[in-house]
Structure 1
Amino acid sequence: MSDIGYFTWDLAPTHGDAPCLRDDHSDLTYRQFADRVDAFAAQLSERGVREGDVVAVMLPNRVELLIVLMAAWRLGAAATPVNPTFTAAEAEYQITDADAALVVNEGPDAPSAGRPSIAVDEMHTSLPSGPALDFRPAGSDVALLIYTSGSTGRPKGVMLTHDNLQFMSSSLAEHLSLTAEDHCLLILPLFHVNAICVSFLAPMLAGGQLSVTGRFSPARFFDDVARLRPTYFSAVPTIYALLVSQPDEVVTDTSSLRFGVCGAAPISKELLERAEQRFGLVIVEGYGLTEGTCASACNPPGGVRKLGTVGPALPGQTLAIMDESGVLLPPGTVGEIVIRGANVMHGYLRRPEETHRTVVDGWLHTGDVGRLDEDGYLTLVDRIKDMIIRGGENIYPKEIENALATHDGVLEAAVVGAPHEVYGEVPVAYVVPYPDSPVTDGQLTDHLRERLTKVKLPVAIHVVDALPRNPVGKIDKPGLRSRHRLSTTARG
């Protein structure tokens, strides 16, 4: 018996006819899920997929995507989920870089980079005759290749092993106190490790169930919660902002929800409080990286929550703050966040130099700035690369964003550095107001004057309808910087 606890073929004998996995088209028990996995694993084997290969899967969120992941693991192969909204060039880059042996996609018109492919509608659903599959993946085998968003260059494949995934999913199940009574509503994209670990593997370990929702909208979300009665979900700040922006007359039944998780990007304390009050549930903010297999810190649903922090280290991990020379700093000191534990990635695919720069003496260097308090709760300060240097003075955009968020009319805010002939860089803000709460740049500037020193005040505040996002839902700050440069050039 493998030490990995989330394999569906091991779970089926225990949980059998218990509800496991559903979407708009399928509703599977643990046994039915295991049978579908074995059926497709046999099909992959017939198509030549072997131990150590990579299977790419380019599908929107649906049951079949999870079947592909588990079927690849059944054969000792790794899986690389591809963003289904990618252009052909983006998809082919990932498929080629991962050296995928086969691609599962939506049909012949979908990108495959010239590799063999299986359309989702051609996936076998019935067990073949012959001997049962009995391969057992090792914990050290690479399970997932998750590609970074590529904001700092070409996307890199992060190699995560089954040991990484087992450690992370069991740690999350413990921290979130998941049981067989828990039911996750999946709304985040499955090409990202957050959805795979928090919403899929953790409830599988607990014997719980997962409902895969369709394309997110507030109306769809509220309907699914009322109909399916999930106990938790994981989302990004943008989704919480959309939910609390619904008119007051939108009456919702969220009584089944025990808690919500917020990750992928920082959420303002004000938005978090509004969401908790509006929907009557606990929201725990967490923090992590793909390179750290999803999450490294999280406020506990049933313990001490400190709003404005992302909580303490998850079980089995160590968080620390380090200076530029590699010295660990005491509580209350600002520096780079570093992480150690069995969650740290195996490495970047075929990029040993970048791996060695990122993981040094067992510490994963995050590129994020933060501080720990005496209780070990982590406060995020900002990304190192987003820091603005104005006339030699360091300015953290998140501090300005937090100050903007204290205005009742501000739903979201993003601050970026803009080139300046004298100071080098100056802060510029982009603000999304709440519906029916118009604000002006002058009002927001006056609001900030009471909260920030003059050097931190944005030289311009743009009130906009929406902020650009990357595929994971994070605010696209490189895109904002480019937008600002283009608009400045056009005016010039």
Structure 2
Amino acid sequence: MDLCSLIERNAAFAPDKPATIFEGEILSYAAFSARIEQTARALKAEFGVSRGDRVAILSLNRPDYLVLLYACARLGAMLVPLNWRLAVAEQLFILSDASVKVLVLEQAFAEIIPALEKSLPDTSVVGFDFAPARGSAFDALLARACGDGRNPHTDLTCPLLIVYTSGTTGRPKGAVLRQETLLWNGVMSQHMHALTSNDHVLTVLPFFHVGGLNIQTTPALHHGATVTILSRFTPDAALAAIANGRPTLTVLVPATLQAVTDHPDWLSTDLSSLKAISTGSTIVPPHLIDRFVARGVPVLQVYGSTETCPVAVYTRLGGDLLRVGSTGLPGLCCEAAVIDESGAELPPDTPGEIAVRGPNVFYEYWGNEEATREALHDGWYRTGDIGRRDADGYFWVHDRKKNLIISGGENIYPAEVERVLLEHPDVVECGVIGRPDVRWDEVPVAYVIRRAGCSVEAEDLKAHVMTHLARFKVPRDIVFVDDLPRTALGKVQHFMLRQLYEPAPSEGDAP
């Protein structure tokens, strides 16, 4: 049995049931299962995709994103979702690091192809909505597919996803999630949301994040529910989909909660179909939760990370939602603890590092044994997040991973931005921190020591960063300083930077 078997069983039980709805088109479970099978055949016959091979996808949300995921499960291959907001250089690093065999992409992101042909000429290219000059169109590929579409020794223990997360050392790391990890994650999502085949999930978050893919989307498909997919989030489209599609569940991060509730149509939109919404990704401002609760919609909180698939700690529909700020209890199928530096569990109401253990935890960082050893200890994943739990076992998250900036739901590690800034010949040293922002929660700000005698300006450095990193990672402001706060060993102290240069929250432009 593999994860694709769940789709096949749902297709057998309810072949005509809608699996996905996208731009008005309905794909039944029977058609969804058949397309997965045909895609697996095509990948195997055309490109020789075998057990353990990597297939990458660069696309906005679409049903074929999910088709590729389950086709990889059927073959024992791994899907590598690419964040379409990243710069081409960042995407090329991931493709190279994962040694991707096939890249499937939509035409909007075809700008990567010339660089791909130059640096990774052995990677095959498939276009969703076009035929690349040196590649195939997806539907044409499926039309000529043949064979059995399966590989030997494929089961739930096979790795399925490599999801890259920004690294504290300045390079992203690929968290490897097995098929069984998604299975157990789905069990906990079912428990969290009281999910049944009668539910209708609206997915507005990107599939390249485990939140968009795995908090509700894949669990819904595993339980035979229906998923309406938006290609990307806009508040207009989300509110229209709620009013017209009548979903029962959706996931919104704080930035999208803010955008939806600030929209002119917020108060006039009928929310009565929603039995709950889920939120997480960062510490959630209570006033955003209150806006939904005031309209009769319960708000569930989920805590986790890429490395936990992400469901780990959550509040449950029908459970205790009155503990203000709490992210809930450890999930049905995993453990969570608050520990000290030695790994010993701390008593209730004592702050410490949150650790998670269970079948939902990632297997390894792809090709990075050192980082894997640092993160996993006797099966426990040390998150780096600081929190506490009360005597009843409920968790509160006090602070996110050290130095991590979360801007509009996107993770930004200062080390990554600092690495690029330091590549500029006129930058001697720098430190990047997050500044509170009314719209995006946080935006990156850089403090830079210039090389003596040079006159490089902030806009020059922003342009330099823009050529290497995604736009949302470009510092909103660059402040030139003579010195930076340091440890006794000379390391920049980011927490001191935050204390020394604490500005008022800004109303920023889009990151």
TM-score between both structures, scaled by the size of structure 2:
0.76
Q: Aligned equivalents of 1:414 and 1:98: distance in 2?
A: 30
Looking at both structures, which has the greater relative contact order when contacts are Cα pairs under 8 Å and sequence separation is at least 6? Answer: 2
Q: 1:355 to 1:24 in 2, by over 3 A?
A: same
Shift of 1:219: 1.3
Matched, 1:124 2:142: no
Aligned to 1:286: 302
* 3-state SS of paired residue (1:308): coil
Amino acid across the alignment from 2:138 = M
Q: Aligned equivalents of 1:68 and 1:386: distance in 2?
A: 34
Q: Aligned equivalents of 1:249 and 1:322: distance in 2?
A: 42
Q: 1:169 to 1:101 in 2, by over 3 A?
A: same
Aligned to 2:474: none
Equivalences for 1:145-184 in 2 at 5 Å? Answer: 145-150=162-167, 152-184=169-201
Q: 1:130 to 1:118 in 2, by over 3 A?
A: closer
Deviation string, structure 1 residues 2-49 (Cα, Å, up to 9, x no partner): 274764233211221111112116310000001111121111112221
Q: 1:50 to 1:266 in 2, by over 3 A?
A: same
Contact 2:42 2:146 in 1 (8 A): no
Shift of 1:103: 0.8
Aligned to 2:25: 26
Amino acid across the alignment from 1:461 = A
Matched, 1:71 2:32: no
Q: 1:12 to 1:127 in 2, by over 3 A?
A: farther
Q: Aligned equivalents of 1:249 and 1:91: distance in 2?
A: 36
* 3-state SS of paired residue (1:20): strand
Q: Aligned equivalents of 2:345 and 2:510: distance in 1?
A: 36
Contact 1:54 1:100 in 2 (8 A): yes
Matched, 1:465 2:480: no
Match of 1:303 among 270, 295, 319: 319
Q: 1:99 to 1:249 in 2, by over 3 A?
A: closer
Amino acid across the alignment from 2:16 = D
Matched, 1:382 2:403: no
Deviation string, structure 1 residues 424-478 (Cα, Å, up to 9, x no partner): 777788xxxxxxxxxxxxxxxxxxxxxxxxxx8975314323574xxxxxxxxxx
Match of 1:269 among 250, 274, 286: 286
Shift of 1:255: 0.9
Matched, 1:87 2:87: yes
Contact 1:40 1:124 in 2 (8 A): no
Shift of 1:86: 2.6
* 3-state SS of paired residue (2:68): helix
Q: Aligned equivalents of 1:273 and 1:458: distance in 2?
A: 31
Q: 1:243 to 1:167 in 2, by over 3 A?
A: same
Equivalences for 1:301-340 in 2 at 5 Å? Answer: 301-305=317-321, 306-340=323-357
Shift of 1:421: 6.9
Q: Aligned equivalents of 1:308 and 1:156: distance in 2?
A: 30
Aligned to 1:10: 9
Equivalences for 1:85-484 in 2 at 5 Å? Answer: 85-107=85-107, 109-111=111-113, 112=116, 113-114=120-121, 115-121=123-129, 122-124=137-139, 132-133=148-149, 135=151, 137-150=154-167, 152-247=169-264, 250-277=267-294, 279-305=295-321, 306-386=323-403, 414=442, 459-466=502-509, 468=511
Q: 1:128 to 1:414 in 2, by over 3 A?
A: closer
Aligned-residue RMSD, C-alpha: 3.0
Aligned to 2:59: 59
Shift of 1:298: 0.8
Shift of 1:414: 4.6
Q: Aligned equivalents of 1:209 and 1:283: distance in 2?
A: 21
Q: More displaced, 109-118 or 410-419?
A: 410-419
Aligned to 1:36: 35
Q: Aligned equivalents of 1:201 and 1:18: distance in 2?
A: 16
Q: Aligned equivalents of 1:127 and 1:322: distance in 2?
A: 54
Q: 1:356 to 1:205 in 2, by over 3 A?
A: same
Q: Aligned equivalents of 1:249 and 1:239: distance in 2?
A: 12
Q: Aligned equivalents of 2:194 and 2:263: distance in 1?
A: 30
Shift of 1:174: 2.1
Aligned to 2:475: none
Deviation string, structure 1 residues 125-161 (Cα, Å, up to 9, x no partner): 8676866445573111001000003454211111100
TM-score between both structures, scaled by the size of structure 1:
0.79
Contact 2:302 2:328 in 1 (8 A): yes
Contact 1:231 1:257 in 2 (8 A): yes
Deviation string, structure 1 residues 178-204 (Cα, Å, up to 9, x no partner): 011101101011011122212321111
Q: 1:416 to 1:56 in 2, by over 3 A?
A: closer
* 3-state SS of paired residue (2:171): coil
Deviation string, structure 1 residues 82-121 (Cα, Å, up to 9, x no partner): 1123322111111111111111112464444431111113
Amino acid across the alignment from 2:396 = T
Query: Any unmatched runs of 5+ in structure 2?
Result: 130-136, 405-432, 448-480, 487-492
* 3-state SS of paired residue (1:89): helix
Contact 1:197 1:294 in 2 (8 A): yes
Contact 1:38 1:127 in 2 (8 A): no
Q: 1:323 to 1:16 in 2, by over 3 A?
A: same
Contact 1:416 1:428 in 2 (8 A): no
The alignment covers a number of residue pairs equal to 424
Contact 1:35 1:127 in 2 (8 A): no
Contact 1:415 1:428 in 2 (8 A): no
Contact 1:427 1:459 in 2 (8 A): no
Amino acid across the alignment from 1:303 = G
Amino acid across the alignment from 2:139 = H
* 3-state SS of paired residue (1:320): strand
Q: 1:414 to 1:458 in 2, by over 3 A?
A: farther
Contact 1:260 1:284 in 2 (8 A): yes
Q: Aligned equivalents of 2:220 and 2:396: distance in 1?
A: 28
* 3-state SS of paired residue (1:291): helix
Identity %: 29
Query: Any unmatched runs of 5+ in structure 1?
Result: 388-396, 405-409, 430-455, 469-492
* 3-state SS of paired residue (1:338): strand
Aligned to 2:473: none
